[in-house]
Amino acid sequence: MKSTCRLFALLVLAWLCVGCKAQNAEYHTRHDVRLHQFFPAVADSSSMVYHKGFALSYNEATEQALWVGYMLTRDRVNGQHPRRGKFRSDAAVATGSADYFDYKNSGFSRGHLAPAGDMKWDPVAMDESFLFSNMSPQEESFNNGLWNHIENKVRAWANRFDTLFVFTGPVFTPDDTLAIGNNRVGVPSAYYKVVFCPAMGKAIALIVPHRQAKAPWHSFATSVDAVEAATGIDFLHGITNEEAIERDLCIECWNLH
């Protein structure tokens, strides 16, 4: 199925490129301009995709994002738009994203990387959070259990500190060979979150095993450096005091419990 999509994409590549450039320009001039300064270093700019509520770097090898990043504020957490959207492929991914049939009858849920619960501030942002570029295959018990609990904790931090920059993605190891669907969407062994609070000048990260663990959620807290080592991604690239922020884990700052 994807090979047919790729053939069609070649026929409309020029049109897509024009559309992507316009989309990128709109993102940088209208949506979350502050987020851009915290983007991880990106080796291939063509992997970048911009939507109203979030941006991402797409990884063709695993058919999901390397990272999804967005700004979360107190006002956004308390938005009133209902959870509503249609799961669908992301036309902004030039190589073609995963699709509905990859996940159908796979035994895995469609796990949001940028949570729909963080997009209640705008109907377009909410709708776009259901794009498959923002999905990763997750065990149902993990998606609705530990991972959901951590997402709620991040929203609580946004209510407390007002503005956060959040980056989320999968952690793959050489042993992670399981994949689903015709597009071979990789199933990671863990997920990470990197959260930066400008008001504190502090960051916290989590590496969470992809299972319904019995350990308390805060036991997975770690430094940004640890996530960089696990993923090879350079987070908070170029910000002031980057190295100090990335190696520090201030337990009391985040009130972990």
pLDDT digits (tens, 9 = 90+) for 81-129: 999 999 999 999 999 999 999 999 999 999 999 999 999 999 999 999 9
Give the count of domains, the chain. Answer: 1
Confidence at residue 257, expressed as pLDDT on a 0 to 100 scale: 65
pTM: 0.87
The first and second tokens of residue 25, run together, are 């320009």
Q: How many CB atoms lie within 10 A of CB 241?
A: 10
Percent pLDDT > 90 in the chain is 75
Query: How remote is the C-alpha of 180 from its chain's centroid?
Result: 19
Catalytically annotated residues: 112
The pLDDT of residue 43:
74
Range of the domain at 134: 2-254
Cβ atoms of residues 27 and 55 within 8 Å: yes
Give residue 44's pLDDT: 78
**Cβ count near 46 (within 10 Å):** 13
Q: How does residue 46 score in pLDDT terms, banded at 50, 70 and 90?
A: confident
| Cα–Cα distance, 33 to 117 (Å, whole number) | 21
Q: Where residue 173 sits, what CATH number does that domain have?
A: 3.40.570.10
pLDDT at 32: 59
